[in-house]
Structure 1
């Protein structure tokens, strides 16, 4: 096993990130301009776990989760609505987890910034990777 040094520790907002300006297709955007920026700070060796900082302006879009997502809202306000129409509002300081398989909408009510961690579950029956 390769030794991992202190330099391998990702410090959110400090460690250099891969920054992507996300453009959603018209089939996904419901309203608004959004202006999404995703700053990826860490990706695990098997690409199953990532962390980063996500920012967006106001707007609404369809959301379908293929990964479990944990996030901490730094600022802003969003409404997440499930496919049955039930909604919850989240704002600065909220810390939540959205499970893989969730389908619904995200409405960004005011400019929003969050730290996130995604874990992409292994498909059922797929063996774990050898260490």
Structure 2
């Protein structure tokens, strides 16, 4: 079992490597929850205010599990997260309409059960 401090360090290292090279002030990027400055307001003009399965939809993909996080947009990439079980893996999901959809599973160690954690 990996000690808790190591797991935390691994998660922070991944986060810094993945998002650490995003320059502040990039208005085209939605690099965190509620946008670049946390206000949930975009400077973009002409953005659709309504959409459906057939209107104002560029693409969609089915996720392997539930998720409730904000999509992150960096350059021409969109990052979404969901729960798909415990484990570590990486693989190509599909490629359609010139989209490269890749999945990366970040593992979470199962905590051992005890009186405080049944």
Answer 1 or 2: which has greater strand percent: 1
Answer 1 or 2: which has greater helix percent: 2
Greater relative contact order, per chain length (Cα 8 Å cut-off, separation 6+): 1
TM (norm. structure 1) is 0.25
Structure of larger gyration radius: 2
